[in-house]
Chains A and B, each alone.
Chain A
């Protein structure tokens, strides 16, 4: 009898450990998502400033800029589901890239102090964003490792825990963003 109790105790301890480990990893993912969200907000705050600064110079890209403003309006709405947010953010990424390419055509813009300062702020936010994305992906990876290996996989399916989405990190973001202040 004592042996049986001992085994039961051991098994329940193991179960507790497995469950807690799973929850810890899942929380790490959520925590990482939150820290990324903070960075994203910071980035969205910069967009109106950026548009305001460049629109006086960039006459041919009005549409591109208003598109950017629209996207930003959408993404800052509260209660947006996470995957929707990711999708919108990817679109913002693309448009921002396009706008950045156009900067090259406006030497007066590139010489403006306001713009330089802003460009610096954008670059820095992008770097921080890239870092929090990488952390998010690492946390997801960690979580998946626990989720899909035996025996915690059994525990996960019992608790109804599922996979999380990775954030795609674009080629351009992998490196240091282009610092136009050289």
Chain B
């Protein structure tokens, strides 16, 4: 991965000039949004008039202002989407290609729901599944892919229903450096996805056993379940456990991992949207730098967990 200096030169040489027309477009879109808000404000003022002094033409004015606001918002939304698509195609794509030309980037795709479910990191089937910015490639000897994901459940109360996030952030899959045939899950301590009841009733949890490991620090932070006690330890060697602890220190405590179908799955919750341009603030160097840092996270997972250190059977 190119260093910071090279990235700075790349930004100055290639991106800065490309950002100028995009920035002009962004300002226009922002204006449209702001105008929408102004009309909404005006509509509110007229509405108050209409309520206090009934019978005045204020009602008509309020409705007119409100409709205008809606029109502006719709136009704003359409243009914003087009802008985002354009921005990703030009800027994000270029940043990714600069970091590694062999990376494949598709802003509209995401990790599939099947992969998400088979990771077992979140056992609950989501009611709403969205994601974008799918990237796949190879770092050293490790084939990987990742995307942004947002999965939600619908919660129905007596009067209304709302959405609750199950997971939002970066979802990463890579080919693991060792062979294994079972399933091993490393969930954050206190949040295991299996319990006494699911072990009896769900097919997911059947055959899973809790794995007690020697590392005190690791045990404090994670709960491990596996279908094979020996294999779990074959994957989670003492040094690997240390690396997972370090990974958690860097990525936040909600990080979880699983080892299924000879793959490693890592879910890193991140609140901000990844690889997204902003409409209301400038898309300058720091924004573009964010794209680079996101990619850096993925490379860090591979390096930190030493996924490139291959045993002979998985060269």
**Contact surface of A with B, Cβ cutoff 8 Å:** 32, 35, 116-117, 119-121, 123-124, 127-128, 130-132, 134-135, 137-139, 141-142, 174-176, 179, 181
Contact = CB atoms under 8 A, between A and B. Distances in A.
B311 A131 contact: no
B231 interface: yes
8 contacts: A117-B312, A120-B311, A120-B313, A124-B312, A131-B231, A141-B212, A142-B212, A179-B309
A27 to B, nearest CB: 13
Given A120-B311, A123-B312, A124-B313, 6 more contacts: A32-B230, A131-B237, A132-B230, A134-B214, A138-B212, A179-B309
B233 A134 contact: yes
Contacts of A141: 212
B311 to A, nearest CB: 5
A131 B233 CA distance: 5
B203 interface: no
A32 B229 contact: yes
Contact of A35 (B178, B230, B232): B230
- Interface extent on B, as a size class? 10 to 19
B204 interface: no
B207 interface: no
Interface string B92-116: 0000000000000000000000000
A179 B230 CA distance: 21
A-B complex: 9 closest residue pairs judged by Cβ atoms: A120-B312, A131-B234, A131-B233, A134-B233, A124-B311, A132-B230, A135-B229, A135-B230, A175-B239
B311 A123 contact: yes
B252 interface: no
Contact of A176 (B214, B229, B309): B309
Contacts, number: 56
A104 B107 CA distance: 50
Interface of B: 178, 212-214, 229-234, 237-240, 309, 311-313
Contacts of A124: 311-313
A174 B241 CA distance: 12
Contacts of B234: 127-128, 131
B255 to A, nearest CB: 22
Contacts of A134: 214, 233
Contact of B237 (A121, A142, A176): A176
Contacts of A131: 230-234, 237
A42 to B, nearest CB: 13
A181 B315 CA distance: 11
Contact of A181 (B230, B232, B237, B312): B312
A134 B240 CA distance: 14
Contacts of A142: 212
A142 B309 CA distance: 33
B237 A138 contact: no
Contact of B239 (A135, A176, A181): A176
Contacts of B232: 131
A135 B182 CA distance: 15
A75 to B, nearest CB: 21
A181 B314 CA distance: 13
B198 to A, nearest CB: 21
B123 to A, nearest CB: 25
B230 A127 contact: no
A9 to B, nearest CB: 24
Nearest to B238: A174
Most central of B178, B234, B309 by chain A CB within 10 Å: B234
